[in-house]
Amino acid sequence: MQPDQYAVMGHPIAHSQSPRIHALFAIQTGQNLEYRAILVEPGGFAAAARAFRDAGGKGLNVTVPFKQDAWVFADVLSARAERAGAVNTLSFESTGARGDNTDGPGLVRDLKVNHGCALGGRRILLLGAGGAARGVLQPLLAEQPAQLVIANRTAGKAAELALRFGDLGSVSGCGFADLAGRSFDLIINATAAGLNDAAPPLPDGVLAADGWCYDLMYGREPTAFVRWGRERGATQSLDGLGMLVEQAAEAFHRWRGVCPETKPVIAALRSG
């Protein structure tokens, strides 16, 4: 039988790890599928997604810069995707294109299950107020932290985002300098500062004595924010490779109805 077809669409896409991750999941679970990376030009997402679906494609992952386009494209949205305003997983079903966002659940699973980091009752600081931050807010708030503060270079955007999610828990927004004198048990970096190999400018003391750091970005070498956490004695300072694999597992489960094991896949990616 022909393998079922899946793909990830983005721009750029050449360095995406998703084909490797899904190929490892497929081998592990004995699923008959093919998964490839498709480069889509800006403005071309809807046409590319439609063409893929019309050719028999079963599902798509969507990455930068098309997550909002995928949100618009979906016929039906999960509650968390609806809130996030972004879709990273599309399932082509007989009833239409179902959109979900598995980024936030991926982050929460990596923290809680893979690393044993409790989130309930903790003081969480989320850095950034763009698409990446919005994608993880609802699942983080569902863990019922004592407080969740969003800090952003442009303070107004953090305040706006906090307002939008305020019905889900204790969440507020501010600028980086407003964090002086406060400290947090977990600091999550969802800014794009790492693209310049920099950590956001945070006041001293913002990381609690036994605090954790988590960077949504990952790389071969420790990211600038992971280094920032280590330099300040974080109990753990983690990059986002585990989240990447966990969000893929959640998508795979949605598509195939089976849960792949993530630990061996994370280990395989870590070793190159």
Find the shortest distance in angstroms from Cβ 156 to ligand ATR. 9
Question: Is 128 an interacting residue with respect to ligand ATR (CB under 6 A)?
Answer: yes
User: Least separation, in Å, of the C-beta of 165 and ligand ATR?
Assistant: 15
* Annotated catalytic residue, options 58, 67, 157, 263: 67
Site mask for ligand ATR (CB under 6 A), range 188-227, x = bound: ---xxx--x-x-x---------------------------
Contact between residue 78 and residue 101 where contact means Cβ atoms under 8 Å apart: yes
Rounded to 5 degrees, what angle do the CA atoms 8, 239, 171 make? 90
Nearer residue to ligand ATR within complex by CB, 85 or 253: 85
Q: Which residues 226-265 are close enough to bind ligand ATR by CB under 6 A?
A: none
- Residues near 130 by beta carbon (within 8 Å), at least 6 away in sequence: 157, 190, 191, 192
Nearer Cβ to ligand ATR (7/224): 224
* Among 182, 117, 116, residue whose Cα is nearest residue 151: 182
Backbone angles phi, psi at 214, to 5 degrees: -145, 125
**Measured distance CA(36)–CA(5) in Å, rounded:** 8
Query: Pairing state of beta strands 96-100 and 89-93?
Result: antiparallel
* CB-nearer residue toward ligand ATR: 173 or 211: 173
19, 85, 130, 219: residue in contact with ligand ATR (rule CB under 6 A)? 130
Is 129 among the residues that bind ligand ATR (CB under 6 A)?
yes
Determine how many CB atoms are found less than 10 A away from the CB of residue 196. 8
The 3-state secondary structure of 120-167, one letter per residue: CCCEEEEECCCHHHHHHHHHHHHCCCCEEEEECCCHHHHHHHHHHHHH
User: Residue from 146, 154, 177, 221 that binds ligand ATR (CB under 6 A)?
Assistant: 154
Q: CB 63 → ligand ATR: shortest distance, Å?
A: 10
If the CB atoms of residues 16 and 191 are measured against ligand ATR, the closer one turns out to be 191
When the beta carbons of 99 and 128 are compared against ligand ATR, the nearer one is: 128
**Is residue 245 within 8 Å of residue 267, measured between CB atoms?**
no
Number of residues that bind ligand ATR (CB under 6 A): 16
Residue placing its CB nearer to ligand ATR in the complex, 28 or 85: 85
Tokens of 241: 């490779």
CA-CA distances (angstroms) from residue 105 to 15, 136, 165, 195, 237?
23, 8, 16, 24, 19
Residue carrying the six token digits 């800014």: 191
Q: Could you confirm whether 112 is annotated as catalytic?
A: no
Only one of the segments 98-106, 107-115, 137-145, 150-158 lies at the binding site for ligand ATR (rule: CB under 6 A); that segment is 150-158
164 lies in the site for ligand ATR, by CB under 6 A: no
The only residue of 9, 24, 60, 132 in contact with ligand ATR, by rule CB under 6 A: 132
Contact positions vs ligand ATR (CB under 6 A):
128-133, 152-154, 157, 191-193, 196, 198, 200
Which residues are designated catalytic? 67
